[in-house]
Amino acid sequence: MYDVLAIGEMLIDFTPSVRGVGLADVPAFEKKPGGAPANVAVGVAKLGGSAAFLGKFGDDPFGDFLIGTLEQYGVDAVGCVKTKEAKTGLAFIAVEENGEHEFHFYRDPSADMLLREEDIREELIQNSRIVHVGSVTQVLPEATAATRKALELARKHGVITSFDVNFRLGIWRGREAEGKQKILDTIKLTDVLKVSESEMVFITGTEDVERGAQLLLEMGPKIVFVTLGEQGVYYITSKHRRRVPTFRVTPVDVTGAGDAFVAGFLRQLADRIQGRGIEYSLSMHEEIEEMTRYGAAVGALTVSKMGAIPALPTKEEVYQFMYRGAKGNPLRIPTQE
């Protein structure tokens, strides 16, 4: 039984040798594994959970490298498929001094975008506690149908569904309305939804976090997270809502921060739902807050290092950070219950 089955893209992140310059001025890049769903799968595994990945890779050296990376970190690669129809996706990244990043993708198309319904294995979904997906792979209709099939199968078997919007404007430029509709369709099949503040504004049209989160909750999820950068994360369920502060760290690279948060939360949720179900696990705000703080700690540790997958912390590192030396903000930001 897997704690989390992540479905979608895994690609090569080329991270810059220097910070503070644009992509055109970066003198050299270093090859590192990345891709939001893959980050979540590896994050869960490094936190002591059981994870599997389902996705499509190019039949090329980069595909071999990525599948090997999953196996290196203990992620079951049984759902990984190779194709000769396209090459493995690449992403070149520039990092500003404050850790914010700029992406340029080579995916026209890339292998992950060619995921099809026949690649979705029902037995993997049936043997998972949580199925997690993103939006990047869903550019082409076939991959959208595959993602929908995975979520519908999860619902059929009583498996919790998780969706991190992770909307990349560079991928959807000129097709923003189509991308938004695909996001809305996916949200309807989602139990755990995570968006950034800008994604919330894009989807709901409001900049008010409480209002935007409420609108997203009304679309079907059981819990909605809106990540707010240094201001922490806001969550809402049918019974509880609260803004949870983040931990104080010096950001080095924010690539993968949201994925790390999701991995931390889902790792905690997978443990708690055994024999109880998601409704019970989300019925008490103390439990939600504990899981959310854990996710925030995983995210904080990740942004303190370069890269995405290499920066994801282990269970022991999170424990040390949270309970034996972290300088977390002890003040709760007041919100209306």
Task: Tell me if 304 is assigned to some domain.
Answer: yes
Task: Tell me if 42 is assigned to some domain.
Answer: yes
In this prediction, residue 324 carries a pLDDT of 67
User: Each residue of 46-63: b (16+ CB within 10 Å) or e?
Assistant: bbebbbbbbbbbbeeebb
Structural domain harbouring 208: 2-9+35-87+112-323
Please say if the pLDDT value at position 331 is more than 70: no
Please say if the pLDDT value at position 241 is more than 90: yes
Task: Tell me if 107 is assigned to some domain.
Answer: no
Please say if the pLDDT value at position 189 is more than 50: yes
Please say if the pLDDT value at position 294 is more than 50: yes
Task: Tell me if 331 is assigned to some domain.
Answer: no
Task: Tell me if 251 is assigned to some domain.
Answer: yes
Among 71-75, 254-258, 285-289, the range scoring the smallest mean pLDDT is 254-258
Task: Tell me if 284 is assigned to some domain.
Answer: yes
Domain count, the chain: 1
And the tokens for 224?
Answer: 């909605």
Task: Tell me if 240 is assigned to some domain.
Answer: yes
Task: Tell me if 307 is assigned to some domain.
Answer: yes
If you average pLDDT over residues 115-131, what whole number do you get?
Answer: 97
Quote the CA–CA distance of 1 and 132 in Å, as a whole number.
15
And the tokens for 45?
Answer: 């595994």
If you average pLDDT over residues 231-260, what whole number do you get?
Answer: 90
pTM of the model: 0.91
In this prediction, residue 65 carries a pLDDT of 97
- CATH number, residue 80: 3.40.1190.20
In this prediction, residue 325 carries a pLDDT of 56
In this prediction, residue 213 carries a pLDDT of 98
In this prediction, residue 99 carries a pLDDT of 66
The pLDDT tens digits of the residues spanning 315-327 come to 999 999 998 654 4
Quote the CA–CA distance of 76 and 45 in Å, as a whole number.
9
